[in-house]
């Protein structure tokens, strides 16, 4: 039995129980999409919880998650349906003797051929369809959550195919006819913004840009997803990620990478690295947070104080980049650029996260 939600706040609470932490506005938008029965298009950078939202929504509503993972070259056969030729062949073989007897009655091949052409062997019916995700969502008697993931990876022709489903909740198969949805799916589409989606597709969806979370929400996410991480460690790693995201990196750290780094920090702290300096620990954490060596170089320059101010790309300096110039006297000092003053800092204290010992 599928569960419905009467308010955004109720939905937000249910998501939280699944360890999905949404802010108020996002929860209201998701709730509206479910009530209005409109597809929800989520755009935003990698790893901000777009796919996870669909999974969590399915879990809290008690609906099956039907997922269509998009990629370049995705076609109808993978997205919609395919005729099951093997099954059709088997069916014809089983009818063969019967058909053979009937065909034998005709004197000419032309008449036999005409007779066969007029027959309906039932080969093009629902029974012989191999159902793919889009059709599965439409045919399901129980309402599902349909996730069309990374829709920007497909060609525009694929978007055209989606339009009928999104607008009419139906699919037309030329040989059979139109299948109208047997239950109303909740549809979530995600995009990484790698190309502009067609206006026609956007028009049919509620559109929401999911960005990086506030520090407060990200701390909550980290401790919800990695229960072994203590709040202080979570706060420090989140702060490190926040500073990194202000740099013009090739790839900013995603939430999942921040969770990994927080886990790593906890393990390092528990292992008691002894004399390992805090900046060394920070460098180790960069391996979880950054995926390009040029980004690592940039981050290190930033922490060494060689990049005092970074442009946001919008022509304005980023205020956060100046954090490095503040005195390193808070619990997050370890992750802030201390201009090579780390050699006199103590290593991680066992079990205490990554707090500065000063």
Ligand X SMILES: Nc1ncnc2c1ncn2[C@@H]1O[C@H](COP(=O)(O)OP(=O)(O)OP(=O)(O)O)[C@@H](O)[C@H]1O
Partner from ligand X, Mg ion, none contacting 146, C-beta within 5 to 8 A by type: none
Residue 40 interacts with ligand X (CB under 6 A): yes or no: no
Beta strand 170-173 pairing with 177-180: antiparallel
Q: CB of 225 within 8 A of CB of 233?
A: no
Residue 49 interacts with ligand X (CB under 6 A): yes or no: yes
Euclidean distance between CA atoms 303 and 289, whole angstroms: 15
Piece in contact with ligand X (CB under 6 A), picked from 14-22, 194-202, 321-329, 348-356: 14-22
Q: CB of 71 within 8 A of CB of 117?
A: no
Residue 219 interacts with ligand X (CB under 6 A): yes or no: no
Residue 152 interacts with ligand X (CB under 6 A): yes or no: no
With a CB cutoff of 8 Å and minimum separation 6, the contacts of 11 are 5, 27, 30, 31, 34, 60
Shorter beta-carbon distance to Mg ion: residue 225 or 302: 225
Residue 169 interacts with Mg ion (CB under 5 A): yes or no: no
Residue of 129, 144, 119 lying closest to 177 (CA atoms): 129
Residue 221 interacts with ligand X (CB under 6 A): yes or no: yes
- Termini Cα distance of the chain: 56
Q: CB of 261 within 8 A of CB of 288?
A: yes
Residue 51 interacts with Mg ion (CB under 5 A): yes or no: yes
Piece in contact with Mg ion (CB under 5 A), picked from 51-59, 169-177, 221-229, 302-310: 51-59
Residue 338 interacts with Mg ion (CB under 5 A): yes or no: no
Query: Residues 241 to 260: which contact ligand X by CB under 6 A?
Result: 255-256, 259
Residue 56 interacts with Mg ion (CB under 5 A): yes or no: no
Q: Report the interface residues with ligand X, using CB under 6 A.
A: 19-22, 46-52, 190, 192, 221, 224-225, 255-256, 259
């Amino acid at each position: 039995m599928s569960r419905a939600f009467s308010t955004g706040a109720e939905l937000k609470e249910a998501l939280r129980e699944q360890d999905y932490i949404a802010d108020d506005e996002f929860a209201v938008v998701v709730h509206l999409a479910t009530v209005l029965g409109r597809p929800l298009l989520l755009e935003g950078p990698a790893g901000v919880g777009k796919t996870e939202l669909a999974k969590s929504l399915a879990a809290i509503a008690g609906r099956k998650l039907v997922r269509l993972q998009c990629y370049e070259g995705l076609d109808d056969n993978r997205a919609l349906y395919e005729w099951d030729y093997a099954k059709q062949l088997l069916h014809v073989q089983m009818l063969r003797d019967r058909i053979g007897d009937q065909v034998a009655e005709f004197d000419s091949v032309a008449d036999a051929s005409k007779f066969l052409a007029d027959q309906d062997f039932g080969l093009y019916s629902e029974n012989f369809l191999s159902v793919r995700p889009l059709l599965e969502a439409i045919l399901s008697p129980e309402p599902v959550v349909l996730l069309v993931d990374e829709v920007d990876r497909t060609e525009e022709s694929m978007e055209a195919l989606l339009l009928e489903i999104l607008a009419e909740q139906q699919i037309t198969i030329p040989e059979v006819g139109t299948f109208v949805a047997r239950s109303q799916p909740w549809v979530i589409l995600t995009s990484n913004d790698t190309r502009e989606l067609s206006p026609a597709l956007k028009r049919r969806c509620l559109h929401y840009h999911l960005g990086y979370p506030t520090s407060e929400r990200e701390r909550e996410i980290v401790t919800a997803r990695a229960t072994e991480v203590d709040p202080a460690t979570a706060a420090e790693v989140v702060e490190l990620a926040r500073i990194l995201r202000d740099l013009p990196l090739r790839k900013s750290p995603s939430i999942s990478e921040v969770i990994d780094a927080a886990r790593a920090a906890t393990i390092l702290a528990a292992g008691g690295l002894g004399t390992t300096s805090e900046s060394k620990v920070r460098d180790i954490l960069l391996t979880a947070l950054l995926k390009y060596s040029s980004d690592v170089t940039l981050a290190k320059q930033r922490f060494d104080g060689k990049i005092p101010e970074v442009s946001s790309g919008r022509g304005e300096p980023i205020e956060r980049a100046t954090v490095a110039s503040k005195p390193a006297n808070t619990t997050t000092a370890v992750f802030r650029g201390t201009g090579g003053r780390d050699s006199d800092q103590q290593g991680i204290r066992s079990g205490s996260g990554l707090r500065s010992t000063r």
